Amino acid sequence: MRARQPESEDATREALSGFCEAYWPPLYSFLRHRGHSSADAQDLVQGFFAHLLEQNTLTRADQQKGRLRTFLLGSLQNFLFNEYDRARALKRGGGRQIVSIEEHLPEAEAAMMATAHLSDAGCYDLVWASTIVSRAWDNLQTAFVAEGKAEWLEELRPFVAGGSVAPLNQEEAARRLGVPIATLRTWLSRLRQRYRESLRMEVATTVSDPADVDAELQHLYQILIRS
């Protein structure tokens, strides 16, 4: 929607860049899960994005009942069916790089390998959910760095984001930060609230109707729980 606004060429480019960066990991993982090599999956993602932009496909998304993740997956499947020969031609030198993949390719490849037990669509959904969570945390981290709170954010992250193998100890964290345990618990409560807000804002960018945000958040939670 931002990309369609006649504000400026720079604003359009920024919106499209953010869109491509957010959605290439689940699309790439879906293609790898389908059996495409890493090189072919990268070429197909680039070709798919070029196709979306050239054909102005995003403007045809139904804003009345749109979830970007489902629209894109359906569009990619149609692209593979109707445009595969054209996409292969892009590999032979006719294409252009729409999004930089190399920097985060190892993470995307690891995510794909971790979803080997899932269906193609299940792989896509899990990498989509993981990408949303990662972007929400990155946005939160940017805000805390600007506030000069990067140190204690990193200390408290395991209590909010999970994934820690070792048992978490609030008393030890409070000692390392040099604050009373009551202060640390207040910080944790506020951090969890801000993280929920950041996650909600990130999910809100993927639906056309704000009324769909709660349902999409619930879908995201269910995906992560099942994983």
pLDDT in tens, 35-80: 888 888 888 888 888 888 777 666 665 554 557 888 889 889 988 8
Predicted pLDDT at 151: 84
Q: Minimal CA–CA distance to 207: which of 79, 55, 62?
A: 62
What's the one-letter identity of residue 130? S
Task: Flag whether the pTM goes above 0.85.
Answer: no
Q: How far apart are CA 51 and CA 44, in angstroms?
A: 10
Q: Which residues contact 39 (CB under 8 A, 6 or more apart)?
A: none
Predicted pLDDT at 68: 81
Q: How far apart are CA 134 and CA 161, in angstroms?
A: 10
Predicted pLDDT at 15: 73
Per-residue pLDDT of the chain (227 residues; tens, 9 = 90+): 665 555 666 766 777 777 888 888 999 999 999 888 888 888 888 888 888 877 766 666 555 455 788 888 988 998 888 766 665 655 544 455 667 777 678 887 887 787 878 888 889 999 999 899 989 999 999 999 998 888 888 888 888 876 555 667 899 999 989 999 999 999 999 999 999 999 999 998 888 788 889 999 999 999 888 87
Phi, psi angle pair for 168, to nearest 5°: -90, 140
C-alpha neighbours within 13 Å on the C-beta side of residue 195: 18
Predicted pLDDT at 224: 87
Burial of 68-77, coded b for 16+ CB within 10 Å and e otherwise, reads bbebbbebbe
Predicted pLDDT at 212: 86
Predicted pLDDT at 93: 42
Predicted pLDDT at 104: 72
Q: How far apart are CA 93 and CA 204, in angstroms?
A: 37
